[in-house]
Amino acid sequence: MHGNTLPYLFWGRNRFQGDLLFFEQLLCSLADIKEDLVIVGDFNIHVEAVDNCKARLFNQLVESLGWTQLVDGRTHTAAHTLDLVLTRTGSPFVVNVQVGDLVSDHHLITCSIGLGRPQRKKMTVSCRDYRSIDLNDLVDDLLQLPLILDPVLDTDDCLASLNGLVDQYGDIRHVIENHAKLQVKEVTIRDPAPWINKRILDARRALRKGERLWRCSGYLEVHLESYKTLASDYSETIKTEKGQYYCSIVADCGGDQRKLYRLVDSWLGREKACVLPEEKSATDLANRFAAFFNDKDLHSIVDSENNTARLAQTVERRRIMRLARCLLRYRGGHDP
């Protein structure tokens, strides 16, 4: 499993009309896949019937290839278990599988899937909460500083007096840092959404300003209504700018359908793997590519020469036909 994507297979009932050979080949092909997989669907097999030959073969096949069927109970109005959920044996990926209410002639199957959220990068930052400072205590400590009680004032040496005052002034910083302790936090780095622009940021600032005004006013009704209006405007601004952003990206594709399909695949999280021919050696693979393109160029040259010869024959034939028509018209004008 990659990020928050879910690899799964849906098995339709129309696919299961013959023997179990195709399904066995499918499970064997999934053996090399390391990610967690889920196979769900209507198998149209009475897996709960111990006297059913196909059901016994199906259960034996699933168990022998390392899979487990998790649905327990009837899933159809005919009191049979047809809708199945298959996972690898011992995998905690799918848990709490339950048969729910009846939907048409089948019951609803619910389960919990262990989808992991994508891991974001984190960084450590340090900050001070200056808003938590008690101003009365701060003022009391500042009044005890040498800068207030005994400032350096030397009329004979102005430079020394200035340096002394600068040193005493630096004590203010230490007092403030004592009242606002240094805090170390771990924050998550999040990339901003691509449609965020100045208009959205301005609407967000106005919304936060309206919220602060509402709270500072003692939660007055008039400020609450203003805050609700700003919140509605902010939501509409995001929808508008987001729609315009996606429309502009689609418009940039123009008539290039391939570019448009790649764009849609990127939005849907689809990735196309580059599949190369199977070769044990990279050198052999490179030689195969070289031989392929050499043969392709040779065939192109031969085809080009053949096309040139056919074109010359066609031109010569047209010239002869044109000359023959001229001779016929000349004979027709002078013969009795």
pLDDT > 90: what percent of the chain?
Answer: 16
The Cα–Cα gap between 74 and 86 comes to 16
Tokens describing residue 251 = 């418009």
Q: What is the pTM of this model?
A: 0.38
CATH of the domain at 89: 3.60.10.10
Last residue of a domain, one of 245, 272, 299: 272
Which range has the worst mean pLDDT, 1-10, 71-80, 160-169, 187-196?
1-10
Strand partners, 169: none
Torsion region of 297: left, alpha or beta (phi above 0 gives left; psi -120 to 50 gives alpha): alpha
Contact 24, 69 (CB under 8 A): no
The Cα–Cα gap between 79 and 252 comes to 55
Residue 200 has pLDDT above 90, yes or no: yes
For residues 126 and 171, membership in a common domain is answered with yes
Count the Cβ atoms, other than its own, within 10 Å of residue 169: 12
- Per DSSP bridges, beta strands 8-11 and 38-42 are parallel
Tell me, what amino acid is at 29?
S
The Cα–Cα gap between 297 and 263 comes to 34
For residues 138 and 210, membership in a common domain is answered with no
For residues 132 and 91, membership in a common domain is answered with no
* Residue 71 CB burial class (10 angstroms; 0-12, 13-18, ≥19): buried
The 10s digit of each residue's pLDDT in 161-194 is: 777 777 878 888 888 888 888 999 998 888 888 8
DSSP letter (8 states) at residue 76: B
The Cα–Cα gap between 153 and 160 comes to 9
For residues 168 and 131, membership in a common domain is answered with yes
For residues 33 and 104, membership in a common domain is answered with yes
The Cα–Cα gap between 88 and 102 comes to 27
Task: Decide if 58 is inside a domain.
Answer: yes
DSSP letter (8 states) at residue 132: G
Task: Decide if 228 is inside a domain.
Answer: yes
Kindly calculate the radius of gyration of the chain based on its CA atoms and give it in whole angstroms: 40
The Cα–Cα gap between 48 and 81 comes to 6
Last residue of a domain, one of 238, 272, 306: 272
For residues 13 and 109, membership in a common domain is answered with yes
Last residue of a domain, one of 71, 91, 113: 113
Confidence of residue 210 (pLDDT cuts 50, 70, 90): very high
For residues 212 and 249, membership in a common domain is answered with yes
The 10s digit of each residue's pLDDT in 86-139 is: 988 888 888 888 888 887 888 888 888 887 777 788 899 998 888 888 888 888
The CA-based angle 262-118-238, given to 5 degrees, is: 65
Q: In which element (H, E) is residue 261 found? A: helix 257-267
For residues 103 and 38, membership in a common domain is answered with yes
* Residue 43 CB burial class (10 angstroms; 0-12, 13-18, ≥19): buried
Task: Decide if 329 is inside a domain.
Answer: no
Strand partners, 118: none
Full domain range(s) for residue 80: 8-113
Tell me the average pLDDT of the chain: 79
Total domain count, the chain: 3
